[in-house]
Structure 1
Amino acid sequence: MPPKELENSNSREVQYDASGNKINPFIPQFISNAPWYMDQDNTDDPDDYLRHQRLDPALPVVSHTEPVAGKGIVEEVVQHVPAEVIVKKFPKGSCSNCGSMKHKRMDCLERPRKQQNSSTVRRAAPHISVKRNEDYDSKRDRWFGYDTQDWDDRAKVWEDKELAKVRQEIADRVKLEEEKFRKASATFDDFSLEMAELGLIDDFQVGTTYSTGATDDTPTERAKKTIRDRYDQPSYLSNLEDPLSYDPKSRITIDKNKGFINDRSQFVKYLTGEAAEYERTKHFAWEKDKRQSKQQHLEQTAAAFIGGLEDPDGPQVPVADINLNPEASPTAVLLAAKKAQEEKERVRQEKKRKLLEMYGGGKHMK
């Protein structure tokens, strides 16, 4: 069946009300039917079956399926009056109950006043100003409703805080100077006065620098803090012939019999025991892996030349021996190192035996 015929067969018959408007068949019954508690005489209107859903049934029905021009945006600014502002008389045209200019007394939602006299002292309600879009500029006024007094009030708060901070700093400074003067005038001796007359110390240091009650606030004490005792010296001033020295940075006593100085002028201790054994095993694994990698590279290069490849130094995938990794296979590395050491000792003994057979002198080796 063609799509058009299928659509016609499935389509429902369009129904219209008395006003000629289409009746939507998909509206539920509990929306299209008026509830029982409403006046059935006013809701059962044959011209509009959704009359009971209208906000104002007297207005014409607006179809939202077609684009229409809206009413626009009405911008309002609520200018709140502080609670401390009390007026004796509300402005003309305002609500006689709360003083708002937006509504009258009969529409006021505030608590009714007992005294309705307009001359009674009362608090003013917030005022609402509506933006009137009269021309091009007024529609795009970004500062509509902004009051410059708000910025002045905020700036005044900041200035008051800064002023209070400066006053506190001045008060603390005066208090500190008074405390210094009090301590300086507490103890005067002939020696301090004579040093001050000679210009060796300042006047305010008299009685504080050379008294038992000297504090850390004096310039002399502050100078002592900046001059630190240093026990370290540059490496070029150290005596290399000194067999025993002390490194204050690392706090290590350097003994040439227990270590050596590397290329970075750092003291490195000689390894002993298991640490030395592990270091020898690690170097053995590194050297053997390096030799195997080099041999593998030579074999791959030779095979490339024999095979007639254009790029003999092309990318080759390295094949690593896991048995030469002291972290992955420590036991295998130890066994390989032990086997290599035994082979080396066997070769040395064989060479020694041949030399003794050739030149003699075996009796002197016993």
Structure 2
Amino acid sequence: MTDKGGDSGEELNPHIPQFIGVAPWYISDGTTSLAHQRARNVEIPKTLSDKKWYPRGKDAEGQQSFKYRKGACTNCGAMGHTTKDCTERPRKVGAKFSGVDIRKDDVIADEKELALDYDSKRDTYNGYVPEFYNQTLKFYEKTEEERKRRRLMNLKGNEDEEGEDGVRVDESKTDNSAVASVDPRTRTAIRNLRIREDTPKYLYNLDVNSAYYDPKSRAMPESPFANMEGVIMKSKLTEG
């Protein structure tokens, strides 16, 4: 069985739950219908773009004052802002004491004319002019052009440093085994005095009473051939 939907005369599905078919108490007219579920004819508020905004870069119309007035900015002499909020360059002698170059008053917008609601007052992009972003784009375009120019200069400089055969040496593939470590504070490289393939000095003579090898400093000040008859081996070691 179906019910009539109040004044609209539409039939309601009997399987519709009660919390959907019954209107809230603040808009209920005592009948069961789905009228409260549909959009009502409510005036759509104006968008932020349709509303006015505070004037930019304009001065108040009228005759300009040539004398300092009480309550004006002590720096530029204009009415509408204080010295703390003044955007002009701080003068050595303010307009309050010099009386020279009194600026025009600021334009004070009428809040009733703007008619800003709760959201528009707190919208960070309200009154934003998209043309202002073109200045930011031009700045980054110039930065990109300068980066490309410097990169091209570096490539030309690397081509000039190539050898006569036109073969560039890759420093990352060169043998750096002779360099043990580099100290960035002193700009000096600590070099190994022995190649890894060579036999270490302390392995030539395995006698316990031979020359002492200090493992901490990796030093053997005495000769390992002192108690050996290997003078020929010693000469070969020194010559190599």
Superposition TM-score, scaled by structure 1 size? 0.22
TM-score by length of 2: 0.31
Report which of the two has the higher share of helix: 1
Q: For CA contacts below 8 A with separation 6 or more, give which structure has more relative contact order.
A: 2
